């Protein structure tokens, strides 16, 4: 197990960093605010917490659209409402350690946007609303099939060269306990390394089971951030 002293980068605003670089082709931007299209991912970012930035964010959202914005605490902005925050932990996989051995198990297959509806149905069981019909455009995805059913998957979301966020990790409840999550994580880490890239991920701070898994596999905590849930309520 790697030492906790291993230095990893911390991305305090991964949404902004991705939309201003690797995912610039997906960015919808006005002034000090930027976001993913509503059918790609429910995430946005602001450059600062000035009234102008929040007004720019408001202008980007559709009426009743809800997104998650890092480091955007509540403020009195007409047309916006806040619905709590989610403390998140950011973990990175050290670049100088071997990938954990998960060589045995069912075949892991590439997924494409042709599988988007099936991917959406699986993720809606685990985290409804976060995966969208075009999330598949954010990076590479892989899955495990059983008798024609997609039972587990994982892929990439916010990419900040040379780091790729591992996301969408989920297993159908009827197929848990077989190590599918660990095998998919190992596959994505190896996939990234083959391309000269590194792997990181986010997890809700209260998701103890996932945190335990990530630490056991060798991921190291690199930092913490708050995601604020914001909705546009005015036309």
Instruction: Kindly report the number of other CB atoms within 10 A of residue 196's CB atom.
Output: 8
* Section 134-140 average pLDDT: 97
- The third-level CATH classification (topology) of the domain covering 14-87+226-232 is Aminopeptidase (3.40.630)
- pLDDT confidence of residue 128: 87
* Section 93-107 average pLDDT: 87
pLDDT in tens, 191-202: 999 999 999 999
**pLDDT at position 102 over 80:** no
Q: What is d(CA 73, CA 75) in angstroms, rounded to the nearest whole number?
A: 6
**pLDDT at position 234 over 90:** no
Same fold, 14-87+226-232 and 90-224: yes
| Percent of the chain predicted with pLDDT > 70 | 97
**pLDDT at position 8 over 70:** yes
* Section 101-128 average pLDDT: 92
3 pLDDT band (50/70/90 cuts)? very low
pLDDT in tens, 164-178: 999 999 999 999 999
- pLDDT confidence of residue 133: 96
Domain boundaries, the chain: 14-87+226-232, 90-224
- pLDDT confidence of residue 6: 62
- Note whether 70 and 227 are within 8 A (CB): yes
- Higher pLDDT pick, 96 / 70: 70
Q: What is d(CA 141, CA 133) in angstroms, rounded to the nearest whole number?
A: 13
Write out the CATH class of domain 90-224.
alpha beta
- Strands across the sheet containing 44-46: 28-30, 33-35, 44-46
| Percent of the chain predicted with pLDDT > 90 | 91
**pLDDT at position 152 over 70:** yes
**pLDDT at position 1 over 60:** no
pLDDT in tens, 38-59: 999 999 999 999 999 999 999 9
pTM for this entry: 0.93
């Amino acid at each position: 197990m790697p030492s906790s002293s291993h230095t990893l980068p911390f991305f305090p605003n991964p949404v902004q960093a991705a939309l201003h670089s690797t995912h610039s082709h997906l960015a919808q931007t006005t002034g000090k605010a930027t976001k993913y299209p509503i059918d790609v991912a429910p995430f946005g970012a602001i450059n600062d917490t000035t009234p102008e930035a929040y007004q720019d964010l408001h202008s980007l959202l559709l009426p009743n659209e809800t997104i998650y914005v890092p480091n955007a605490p509540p403020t009195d902005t007409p047309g916006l409402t806040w619905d709590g925050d989610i403390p998140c932990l950011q973990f990175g996989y050290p670049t100088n350690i071997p990938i954990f051995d998960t060589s045995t198990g069912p075949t892991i297959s590439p997924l494409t946007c042709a599988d988007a509806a099936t991917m959406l149905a699986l993720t809606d069981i685990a985290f409804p609303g976060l995966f969208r019909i075009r999330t598949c455009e954010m990076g590479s995805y892989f899955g495990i099939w059983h008798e024609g059913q997609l039972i587990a998957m994982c892929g990439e979301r916010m990419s900040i060269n040379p780091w790729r966020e591992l996301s969408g990790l989920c297993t159908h409840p009827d197929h848990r306990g077989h190590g599918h999550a660990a095998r998919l994580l190992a596959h994505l880490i190896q996939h990234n390394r083959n391309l000269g890239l590194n792997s990181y991920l986010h997890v809700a701070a209260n998701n103890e089971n996932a945190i335990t898994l990530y630490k056991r596999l060798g991921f190291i905590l690199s930092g913490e951030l708050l995601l604020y849930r914001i909705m546009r309520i005015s036309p």
